[in-house]
Structure 1
């Protein structure tokens, strides 16, 4: 099952990794704290993983409009 990277703001798929599972080395390499894993990593019904990240376009928008950081979902 692949690991998908999806923008948490616009929900665009950023990329995929053809891995079978997420192990501790992967989590440490990506600096995901154990108490934050449920926020950024979702497990699908088929055993696939989705990692919430941010795409370049949304990052650029956040840099231009820093007040967007206060909003949980700013793209409607």
Structure 2
């Protein structure tokens, strides 16, 4: 099953990697704590995983408008 990388703001799929499973080595490469893993890595119904990250366009918007950081969902 693939690991998908998806923007947590606009939900655009950034890319995907073909992996059979997520193991400790994968998580160490991403330097995620267990708390972060629960927030940013979602298990799909078919055994796939989605890593919530940020795309370049949303990153640029956040740099231009830093008050967006206070909003949980700023793209409607």
- Alignment gaps of 5+ in structure 1: none
Q: Name the counterpart of 2:14.
A: 14
- What residue number does 2:62 align with? 62
Instruction: Determine the structure 1 residue equivalent to 2:36.
Output: 36
- Shifted more, 1-10 versus 30-39: the winner is 30-39
When the two structures are superposed, what TM-score results if normalisation uses the length of structure 1?
A: 0.97
Distance apart, 1:49 and its partner CA: 0.2
Q: CA deviation at 1:38?
A: 1.1
Q: Which aligned segments of 4 or more residues in structure 1 are displaced greater than 2 angstroms?
A: none
- Aligned residues, how many? 76
